[in-house]
Structure 1
Amino acid sequence: MQSENRIFDDFVRLVNGAAGTLAGVGREAQGSARERAREWIGGLDFVSRDEFEAVKAMAAAARDEADALRARLEALEARLGAS
């Protein structure tokens, strides 16, 4: 009976060790894949979220300025047409 429990205990230790090793390999593979993805994406000339938001804000400001200039031009043309 003692020998059966020892064989079972050894088997359980072996399975636990293998599970721990596989978990470590999985974490290492995941980290490596993430690093490769970052390197690959980094070489594609993507812009960061902050850069995108800055350009978006500048475009909105330019649109507002163009609208204001258009309104001034229309007002000047109306005054010239009335004279």
Structure 2
Amino acid sequence: MTQTTGRIFDEMARLMNDAAGVAQGVRREAETVMRTQVERFLRDMDLVKREEFDAVKDMAAAAREENERLAARLAELEARLGAAPAAPAQDDGASRS
């Protein structure tokens, strides 16, 4: 009887071991499917990569600095000429035919 009990325990241990292997396989498959779905979702959202964002941010900062430098230069030149800054022409639509 001890031999049959041992065999039953061996079979149960083998069954549990197989079940654990199947569970790990299912977990890996679920992770793969979830990762694929998340990647597809992010790709469909048309998000930019961090490197691209940082590059555009640096370009915008450089353009802003250049704009400020040119505005200061323009103000200096206008001050040298003694002219007031010219106001942009406003189009009221009355001159159109």
What TM-score comes out, normalization by structure 1 length?
Answer: 0.90
For residue 47 of structure 1, report the CA deviation from its aligned partner.
Answer: 0.7
Specify the structure having the higher radius of gyration (Cα).
2
For residue 77 of structure 1, report the CA deviation from its aligned partner.
Answer: 2.3
Which residue of structure 2 aligns with residue 32 of structure 1? 33
Which residue of structure 2 aligns with residue 3 of structure 1? 4
CA distance in 1, matches of 2:15, 2:64: 68
How large is the Cα RMSD of the aligned pairs?
Answer: 1.4
Ranges in structure 1 where 5+ consecutive residues have no aligned partner: none
Aligned pair 1:52/2:32, yes or no?
no
Whichever residue aligns with residue 55 of structure 2, its letter is A
CA distance in 2, matches of 1:66, 1:21: 64
CA distance in 1, matches of 2:70, 2:14: 78
**SS of the residue aligned with 1:47?**
coil
CA distance in 1, matches of 2:78, 2:21: 79
How many residues align? The count is 82
Q: Which runs of 4+ in 1 moved over 6 A?
A: none
Instruction: Calculate percent identity across the aligned residue pairs.
Output: 52
What TM-score comes out, normalization by structure 2 length?
Answer: 0.78
**SS of the residue aligned with 1:34?**
helix
Which residue of structure 2 aligns with residue 75 of structure 1? 76
Whichever residue aligns with residue 17 of structure 1, its letter is D
CA distance in 2, matches of 1:28, 1:67: 56
Structure with greater helix percent: 1
Ranges in structure 2 where 5+ consecutive residues have no aligned partner: 84-97
Whichever residue aligns with residue 6 of structure 1, its letter is R
Identify the structure with bigger relative contact order (alpha carbons < 8 Å, sequence gap 6+): 2
